[in-house]
Amino acid sequence: MHIDLLILTAMHEEADAFTPHLQQVQEVECPLAAGSTATTVTARTGLLTTANGQQVRCAQVTTGIGTAPAATAATWAILTFAPRIVISAGSCGGLASDINVGDVVIGETYSYSLADATAAGYAHGQLPGAPAVFEGHASASAVADAVADTGAAVRCGLMLSGDAFVTADKAEPMRELHPSALSADMESTALAHTAERFGLPFLAVRGVSDLCSPRADEEFSIGLDAAAEASAAAVLTGADLLV
């Protein structure tokens, strides 16, 4: 089986944002399906209708939360569906001091927020043997421009991932280590790493659902569903530039 886009989301609520835009949907049995509702891997294929009305062959997989579940499910999905492009969609936490809830973050580069092999001479966020950052799809900035043209607030740059929720006490040290980082989630860098090992282009497109360290005078959460809708809309807008 060969498809154009492999769209990976951590949670079913994030996957649901794509459901109205999928036709000819077929559920695909996955050997990783054992587990609780929060971690069960589900997969489906279909025709995804982009914002310009084009249809692209798509596989969508819900991976579960965290770097290991994401990488495991992505490996199975890449071997099963042979995609041209891997996309990480869904929600994220806003890390940059000037980012807002509802913004869309598109990754140009990706790093691990918690990896620390600096004692061996590596950069913070770099795993031994891996690049200092993983590069996103070459069209990342063009996708960001297209999303901005729709009126959405969009940022394009460094995204961090790690197996910890970035609460206020963790946010400032993380900003000091990665001053250009825009967002934090628990899957995107692991997915970028997996795609890189398979030689596939990768792009994360995430909606900011909450702020890692909110200022006292601002709204700091819009909820998972709204962030997932923002992410899905951005993917639909940018899909024609990716395939």
Among 36, 48, 37, 40, smallest CA distance to 7 is for 48
- Per-residue pLDDT 10s for the chain (243 aa) are 679 999 999 999 999 999 999 999 999 998 886 555 455 789 999 999 999 999 999 999 999 999 999 999 999 999 999 999 999 999 999 999 889 999 999 999 999 998 989 999 999 999 999 999 999 999 999 999 999 999 999 999 999 999 988 877 788 888 888 999 999 999 999 999 999 999 999 999 999 998 886 654 455 566 889 999 999 999 999 999 998
Amino acid at 18: F
Contacts of residue 149, defined as CB under 8 A and 6 or more positions apart, other chains included, come to: none
- pLDDT for residue 217: 46
Residue tagged active-site, from 103, 176, 210, 218:
210
**Distance (Å, whole) CA 92 – CA 122:** 26
* pTM of full prediction above 0.85: yes
The answer to whether 229 is a known catalytic residue is: no
- pLDDT for residue 39: 59
The answer to whether 14 is a known catalytic residue is: yes
**Distance (Å, whole) CA 65 – CA 37:** 11
Residue tagged active-site, from 14, 108, 185, 187:
14
Among 189, 239, 230, 183, smallest CA distance to 207 is for 230
pLDDT digit string, tens, across residues 83-113: 999 999 999 999 998 899 999 999 999 999 9
Give yes or no for a contact between 99 and 154, defined as CB atoms under 8 angstroms apart: no
- 137 to each of 109, 110, 192, 197, how far by Cα in Å? 9, 11, 10, 14
